[in-house]
Amino acid sequence: MALASVPHGCVLAQPDDYAAARIRMVQLQLEGAGRDVRDPRVLQAMAEVPRHEFVPPPLREYAYSDSALPIGFGQTISQPYVVAFMTERLEPKPSDRVLEIGTGSGYQAAVLSKLVAEVYTIEIVEPLGRRAEADLRRLGFDNVRVRIGDGYRGWPEAAPFDAIILTSAVSEVPQPLIGQLKDGGRLIAPLGPSSYQELYLLKKRGEKLERQAILPVRFVPMTGEVLKGAPP
């Protein structure tokens, strides 16, 4: 089968090579041995979104490798498995409106945009947000709205959301974000110190917030207002 002709780590120059590498990524890194992403819609979205368009050109040949990659400004695009895992656990539905804090490259927003009605995403580093917005427009992800700013206070005008995803680490989920989650809504966030976190899935049930640790992870820390009053 054609996929076998794309050995791991080879230089990918042709568009078809990228498509083949993407399918290998899904088979090996998401569904393969020791991996557990099973939602067919999520697997399909991961097979379609061109991750190489969201990584800096010098790193494109590694776009479908099993790792996070630097995107500039000390930030990273998450490992494909982590993106797929978080997306699946958010239980995205076609009618959903989702908020992302930490646009970064725009890749996670692009994956979500295939699965839900609208994605709202906020990025605090202006050049990153502008670049992601341009890439998302260029590639036709028209149901994503990008805002430059501190995501700590969410996006009140567009609230409430069916799901919220934080892609930078915090010690506790900012209260305004919990307030912008619908009843029955899902929120995923890496919680913990800067060196090591646990991915938590929170579900809002009336006044109650159910909370479950689902995966050990390492994300860059959230900056901005969340740091006020935090220990150095």
Residue whose CB is less far from ligand SAH, 18 or 54: 54
Distance in Å, CB of 36 to ligand SAH, minimum: 20
Neighbours of 205 (CB within 10 A): 10
First-residue to last-residue Cα distance in the chain: 54
Catalytic residue among 78, 105, 113, 168: 78
> Cα 184 from chain centroid?
21
Written as one letter, the residue type at 114 is K
Residue whose CB is less far from ligand SAH, 6 or 144: 144
Residue whose CB is less far from ligand SAH, 206 or 229: 229
Is residue 177 within 8 Å of 164, Cβ to Cβ? yes
Distance in Å, CB of 208 to ligand SAH, minimum: 26
List, in order, residues 6 or more apart from 142 with CB less than 8 Å away. none
Site residues, ligand SAH (CB under 6 A): 75-78, 101-102, 104-105, 107-108, 122-125, 128, 150-152, 167-168, 220, 222-224
Distance in Å, CB of 144 to ligand SAH, minimum: 12
Residue 78 annotated in active site: yes
The tokens for 137 are 């427009």
- Active-site residue set: 78
